[in-house]
Amino acid sequence: MNIVYTALILGLLTGFHCIGMCGPIAIALPLNKKSWATRVISALWYNIGRTTTYALLGVLFGILGEGFSFAGFQRWISIIMGTFMIASVLFPKINHVLYKGTGDSKLMNGIKKQLAKYFQQASYKSLFITGLLNGLLPCGMVYMALAGAIGVGSLSGAVIFMIMFGLGTIPMMFLLSMIGNFATLKLKRAINKIIPFVVIIVGVLFILRGLNLGIKYISPPAKKLELRKDMKMKNNADTLTMNSKMMNKNTI
Digit-coded pLDDT (tens) for 104-138: 677 888 888 888 888 888 789 999 999 999 888 88
56: confidence class by pLDDT, cuts 50, 70, 90: very high
What pLDDT shows up at residue 239? 56
Q: Where are the domains of the chain?
A: 3-220, 222-252
Average confidence score pLDDT of the chain: 78
The pLDDT of 195-220, averaged and rounded, is: 77
Question: Residue 29's pLDDT is what?
Answer: 83
pTM: 0.72
DSSP the chain: --HHHHHHHHHHHHHHHHHHHTHHHHHT-----SSHHHHHHHHHHHHHHHHHHHHHHHHHHHHHHHHHHHTT-HHHHHHHHHHHHHHHHH-THHHHHHHHHHHTSHHHHHHHHHHHHHTT--SHHHHHHHHHHHTTS--HHHHHHHHHHHHH-SHHHHHHHHHHHHHHHHHHHHHHHHH-----HHHHHHHHHHHHHHHHHHHHHHHHHHHT--BTTTB--HHHHHHHHHHHHHHHHHHHHHHHHHHHHHH-
pLDDT band at 54, cuts 50/70/90? Answer: very high
